[in-house]
Chain A
Amino acid sequence: MKKENDHLIKISVMFVTMILLTLIAFYIVYSEWISNEFLPYVLIFLAMIQVVIQLILFMDIKEKEGRYRITSVAAGGFIAVLTIFFLAIL
């Protein structure tokens, strides 16, 4: 039972973290706290943390046979980034 409780606590903590990250991102933009130059990178970084939390904790990406799951998402992500890059520089 202890293991299950641990999991519950983990989920809750991570949920609070995600909300916090969202609010931080919101606040950064709202208060114009960081210069425009770095802002996109900071915001994308904050988003990436949330994504990793979701993938690992909520979606069990590292469970059994995780290599297929990770490969699938990583390959999709690679092609998505490639596409976004070349469309963005149009």
Chain B
Amino acid sequence: MPSLAEKNLFSDHHAQMNILAFWFLIGAEVVVFGCLFGIYVSVQELTNNGPGAKELFNLSEIIVSTIVLLSSSFTCALGVYTLKLGKKTMTLVWFLLTISLGLGFVILEGIEFMAYVAEGATISSSPFLGAFYMLLGTHGAHVLFGIVWIFMLLIQLMMYGITKETAPKLFIASLYWHFIDVVWVFIFTVVYLLGKV
């Protein structure tokens, strides 16, 4: 596998256009999550005599899933780093680690949701819970989509190696992954930490 310098990988005109387009998609996603946060903030007091944020959340569990997702962002950055160096195997390993951590995060979130539902805190119990599940659910769906997406790109990486087609795709997927991490940072802060105050 010849080592491709960074310039050759992403400076291709088409790759540049793809990356630019993806940044505008991120801009749109910022608004999507902004609106979901808006809904959440607006109804977080409306608990309909059910459990509120203070009663429901258990911060010590959340801190675990937060660190899991942050670590996946780190491994993803390492994956891009090795991708730019043209090291196929290491790229594969780092990205596999990334999606495993992502999967761990989704499982933790699933367990958390199931615990809430078992307590009777379902999506239709109160506006607060509805907005909570919508926001977290949308984020979780994004993580899940990212896992499947990166997995398929890894298959392509195995099939074709690091090429002008596969490398920009993986780079864009990494942008996506970092973005959902950014969203989580806000969810952790606004929903969980401020919910406890």
A interface residues (Cβ-Cβ under 8 A, vs B): 4, 7-8, 11-12, 15, 18-19, 22-23, 25-26, 29-30, 36, 39-40, 43-44, 46-47, 50-51, 54-55, 57-59, 64-65, 68-69, 72-73, 75-77, 79-81, 83-84, 86-88, 90
Interface centre among A7, A11, A29, A30 (most CB of B within 10 A): A29
Interchain Cβ contacts under 8 Å between A and B, 9 examples: A11-B78, A15-B71, A40-B194, A47-B188, A54-B73, A54-B185, A58-B73, A58-B178, A69-B20
Q: Is the CB of B42 within 8 A of A88?
A: yes
By a CB distance below 8 angstroms, the chain B residues around A88 are: 38, 41-42
Q: Which of B28-36, B146-154, B155-163 forms contacts with chain A?
A: B28-36
Number of A-B contacts (CB under 8 A): 128
Find out whether the CB atom of B30 lies under 8 angstroms from the CB atom of A77.
Answer: yes
Closest 6 CB pairs of A and B: A80-B34, A76-B30, A87-B38, A72-B27, A76-B27, A87-B42
Q: CB of B107 within 8 A of chain A? A: no
Give the interface SS of chain A, mostly helix, strand, loop or mixed.
helix
A8 / chain B contacts, CB cutoff of 8 Å = 78, 81
Residues of A near B80 (CB, < 8 A) are 58
Check A22 against B66 for contact (C-beta < 8 Å): yes
The number of chain B residues with a CB under 8 A from chain A is 48
* Interchain CB contact (< 8 A) of A75 among B27, B39, B193: B27
Binding site for A on B (CB under 8 A): 16, 20, 23-24, 26-31, 33-35, 37-39, 41-42, 59, 63, 66-67, 70-71, 73-74, 76-78, 80-81, 84-85, 174-175, 178-179, 181-182, 185-186, 188-190, 193-194, 196-197
